[in-house]
Amino acid sequence: MADATLVLQDVTKSFGAVAALRSGSLTVRPGSIHALVGENGAGKSTLVKIVSGVHRRDGGRFAFQGRDADFSSTAESKAAGIAVIYQEPTLFPDLSVTENIFMGRQPLGRGRRIDRARMHSEATALFDRLGVALDPRRPARGLSIADQQIIEIAKAISLDAALLVMDEPTAALSGVEVERLFAVARSLRDEGRALVFISHRFDEVFDLCDTVTVMRDGEYVSTHAIAETDVESIVGEMVGREVGELFPKTPAPLGDVVLDVEGLSSAGVFRDVSFQVRAGEIVGLAGLVGAGRSEIARAVFGVDGYDSGAVRLGGTPVARSNPRAAIRAGMAFVPEDRRKQGLVTEGSVARNVAGVIRRGLTRAGLLTSAAENRAAAPWAARLQVKTSALDMDATTMSGGNQQKVVIAKWLATQPRLLIIDEPTRGIDVGTKAEVHRLLSDLAGQGMAIVMISSELPEVLGMADRVLVVCEGRITAELDRAEATPEKVMHAATRTGPTPGSTPTATEEVPV
């Protein structure tokens, strides 16, 4: 067997009193795609950040390509041949796409001037290889998460790295984009590079990877050949306890109409969108990434405007383009891109959770830390936010735990209508069931819920009614009983499979 590209053995790392890694171990060989799995806060990203030089380990062994390694900056790890795609894209919004790719190592032309033409054509060549049409000259600002991910990947490939680490790269990608990413990953593997793939989606792990290492509570648990294990045993090792049933939506009696959206249109974005949501009802918005689901949600909540139509809550019109008015009227909105939209802010977990209550419901009132803690505690507990303390800084939490804080933050406002975009993205398998149970309970207590999800099983399992959005229009409305993967796929794509034909969808295919 070839010598390992990466060896981590009993690596430890603490941040103050928090032991993020107690004993992290991972051995990755060339020509292999190695999955790293574990619950939110298990230490996966921390291990990656030690490899990439963001953090330095406290103890244990770290070797790269047969030599002891200890990087004190990301520049050092890059120079050694390690590329990392982080959980949160780290692009500079004001620089061009090309500048982001070649950041800090621009090819120099004559007179040692930066050779822009050469950079742009190299960027274009990278995008060709990735099969995407992106303008290398445009600024990174305003790009979709998928496109930002693509740029990170292009950057990694351009480094010609021996080791490529991908920390939840697919969380924001659509099915087609995931396939494209996997094709690139496989070709890198076939060139003999070593890859590490972190994901909470087991279908992807089993599809792409040949080996899997499980972590729990900062410790190494096991390593298996993918062919010799299965989802159930991996989940068992990850969680170390029984996992609740996913999608436990229980039928709730429906009450009055809470949300009434009538003829909502926004030029070039969505057209003539009408639907109602009743108290106790979960309405799922299904569709392809980019179909306009999130845009509709943002317009209803008032983050974006719209050209014509009306939004009513409990029969009362809600002012356009005014999220404050929406919050006062009783709406809550958990957006898709929780970090970028500034919802996890500097400051304690409790302050993050209590922040919306403070802003929305009290008039410039100052809450004491104690009051914030009291308001935040039950929600944080319910969502299993793993922190050492509620006064911990929310920005240092693991990716999945930040997601949970954002959800907790909005639930604490006790809304009449909850709009939640990708409720379980980045959330581990154990908590996923908890989020589903929570949504079901909230509906049972009479909350109206609009849920956007790219995971077909989640939509079909949780929604009382499914609205399918395609190219900015609602193309199907399906009751829980009649909604099937085939029907949803058919309405979501113009070229999709016709109802009754064999679906290409497996368990967790995003629609």
Give the count of residues interacting with Mg ion (CB under 5 A).
Answer: 3
The answer to whether residue 218 forms part of the interface with Mg ion (CB under 5 A) is no
The answer to whether residue 400 forms part of the interface with ligand ATP (CB under 6 A) is yes
Contact present, 399 and 426 (Cβ < 8 Å) = yes
Given 98, 199, 213, 398, the residue binding ligand ATP (CB under 6 A): 398
The 82-121 contact track toward Mg ion, x by CB under 5 A, reads ----------------------------------------
The answer to whether residue 424 forms part of the interface with Mg ion (CB under 5 A) is no
Taking CB within 5 to 8 Å according to partner kind, which of Mg ion, ligand ATP, none is near residue 367? none
Residues 6 or more apart in contact with residue 38 via CB below 8 angstroms: 44, 214, 215, 216, 221, 238, 428
Question: What is the closest distance, in whole angstroms, from the C-beta atom of residue 339 to ligand ATP in the complex?
Answer: 12
The answer to whether residue 52 forms part of the interface with ligand ATP (CB under 6 A) is no
Kindly tell me the sign of the dihedral angle through the C-alpha atoms of 199, 200, 204, 205.
positive
Given 178, 397, 447, 466, the residue binding ligand ATP (CB under 6 A): 397
The answer to whether residue 399 forms part of the interface with Mg ion (CB under 5 A) is yes
Residue pointed to by tokens 């949300």 = 259
Residues 6 or more apart in contact with residue 427 via CB below 8 angstroms: 40, 200, 400, 403, 404, 435
| Options 245-253, 347-355, 367-375, 394-402: segment touching ligand ATP (CB under 6 A) | 394-402
Interface of this chain with ligand ATP, residues 78 to 107, rule: CB under 6 A = 87
The answer to whether residue 15 forms part of the interface with ligand ATP (CB under 6 A) is yes
Categorise residue 393: left if φ over 0, alpha if ψ from -120 to 50, beta otherwise: beta
Question: What is the closest distance, in whole angstroms, from the C-beta atom of residue 389 to ligand ATP in the complex?
Answer: 11
Q: Alpha carbon 329 to chain centroid distance?
A: 29
Contact present, 148 and 91 (Cβ < 8 Å) = yes
The answer to whether residue 45 forms part of the interface with Mg ion (CB under 5 A) is yes
The answer to whether residue 223 forms part of the interface with ligand ATP (CB under 6 A) is no
The answer to whether residue 430 forms part of the interface with ligand ATP (CB under 6 A) is no
DSSP H/E element including 49: helix 44-51
Given 44, 78, 193, 425, the residue binding ligand ATP (CB under 6 A): 44
The answer to whether residue 386 forms part of the interface with ligand ATP (CB under 6 A) is yes
Contact present, 181 and 19 (Cβ < 8 Å) = no
The answer to whether residue 46 forms part of the interface with ligand ATP (CB under 6 A) is yes
Residue pointed to by tokens 């929570």 = 438
Question: What is the closest distance, in whole angstroms, from the C-beta atom of residue 205 to Mg ion in the complex?
Answer: 15
User: Of 309 and 426, which CB lies nearer to ligand ATP in the complex structure?
Assistant: 426
The answer to whether residue 170 forms part of the interface with ligand ATP (CB under 6 A) is no
Question: What is the closest distance, in whole angstroms, from the C-beta atom of residue 323 to Mg ion in the complex?
Answer: 29
Categorise residue 347: left if φ over 0, alpha if ψ from -120 to 50, beta otherwise: left
| Options 34-42, 93-101, 219-227, 290-298: segment touching ligand ATP (CB under 6 A) | 34-42
User: Of 45 and 352, which CB lies nearer to Mg ion in the complex structure?
Assistant: 45
Residues 6 or more apart in contact with residue 83 via CB below 8 angstroms: 155, 156, 157, 159, 161, 163, 164, 165
| Options 304-312, 323-331, 360-368, 397-405: segment touching Mg ion (CB under 5 A) | 397-405
User: Of 167 and 486, which CB lies nearer to Mg ion in the complex structure?
Assistant: 167
The answer to whether residue 53 forms part of the interface with ligand ATP (CB under 6 A) is no
What's the CA gap between 199 and 197, in Å, rounded? 6
Question: What is the closest distance, in whole angstroms, from the C-beta atom of residue 195 to ligand ATP in the complex?
Answer: 17
| Options 107-115, 133-141, 392-400, 453-461: segment touching ligand ATP (CB under 6 A) | 392-400
Instruction: Tell which residue, 458, 342, 305, 288, has the closest CA to residue 296.
Output: 305
What's the CA gap between 492 and 289, in Å, rounded? 10
Given 170, 199, 352, 401, the residue binding ligand ATP (CB under 6 A): 401
What's the CA gap between 9 and 11, in Å, rounded? 5
Contact present, 390 and 373 (Cβ < 8 Å) = yes
Contact present, 220 and 213 (Cβ < 8 Å) = yes
The answer to whether residue 243 forms part of the interface with ligand ATP (CB under 6 A) is no
What's the CA gap between 256 and 278, in Å, rounded? 5
Instruction: Tell which residue, 79, 117, 80, has the closest CA to residue 96.
Output: 117
The answer to whether residue 20 forms part of the interface with ligand ATP (CB under 6 A) is yes
Categorise residue 331: left if φ over 0, alpha if ψ from -120 to 50, beta otherwise: beta
Residues at the site binding ligand ATP, with contacts judged by CB under 6 A:
15, 18, 20, 38, 40-46, 87, 386, 396-401, 428
Residues at the site binding Mg ion, with contacts judged by CB under 5 A:
45, 398-399
